[in-house]
Structure formats: structure tokens, C-alpha cells
Amino acid sequence: MYGLVFLTIKNLVLSKYSEERWKQALQKSGWAKTYKGDPVEGEDYDERLLFDLVSVVAELLGTEVEELLESVGRNFIIHLQSTNYAKVLNIAGDSLPEMLSNVNSMHGHIKMAYFRKLSPPNISVSHATKNSML
């Protein structure tokens, strides 16, 4: 998992607490045993640490893991809009169905331009109606 996701979690913690609380979360999650300092945007990290960190931060914020993950997803997109990745997001589409149909291409562009080791999931929509997608 790339540092960009970890930094989104950091921003959530900092928006509610302090740098000291973020460091406590890194320590309690095991991050500090494996890495020094904060995550780096383009570095690839062990995915298990992400889940450990999410659990610790959910406890810290007094929320359920599922709620935290939804918040991380929302904030991830908001954060991306303020970075070089905004151009890629802007061409992905104007609606959720349009974006989902373009997300594999978007990941391909991101891999070529930024993250050579990226191994994104393959997203597909098999059935879509006006009110749902599968």
C-alpha cells in the first residue's frame, strides 16, 4: 500500500488531534518498529501495517473501523485533488459509473507516471441501472 493512503490517515488524525497523537498511533500500530518517521507518498508499505494503523486510529478517534475507512476514502479523493494526481482524477469521469469504467485506465496511467510497482485491483461493472451497479 502506498504512502499516499497512510498520509490520508495522518491528515485525519491531525485534523482532530495533534502530531503527538499521530506519533502515538504510529507507535501503537507497530509502524515505528518497522519504519522511521512518517510514510513517504510514493513508497510502498506492508499492507498489514495499514490495517493495524486503521484499527489504532479508529480506537483513537472513538469510531468504528468501517466508518473510519469511509472517511479515509472521502478524504483520499479530497487530498488527491490538491496534488499532481488531480489531472488524472479529472479525466476519469464526471459520474461514478463513468469513473468506474475508466478506473483501470487511470490506474495504468498512475502506474506509468508515478508508481512503477503499483499493483491495483481490476475494477469492472457487470450490471448497471439508474439506481445501482454491480
DSSP annotation string for 92-123: H-SSHHHHHHHHHHHHHHHHHHT-TT--PPP-
Task: In whole angstroms, give the CA distance from residue 53 to residue 25.
Answer: 7
State mean pLDDT over 4-10. 90
pLDDT digits (tens, 9 = 90+) for 86-97: 777 777 788 878
- Confidence band, pLDDT 50/70/90 cuts, at residue 29: very high
Confidence label for 1 from pLDDT (cuts 50, 70 and 90): low
pLDDT tier at 46, thresholds 50, 70, 90: confident
Q: Which of 8-22, 63-77, 95-109 is least confident?
A: 95-109
Question: What pTM was estimated for this model as a whole?
Answer: 0.73
User: Would you state the pLDDT for residue 69?
Assistant: 92
Phi, psi (rounded to 5 degrees) for 45: -125, 160
C-alpha cell belonging to residue 63: 469510531
> What is the model's pLDDT at position 95?
80
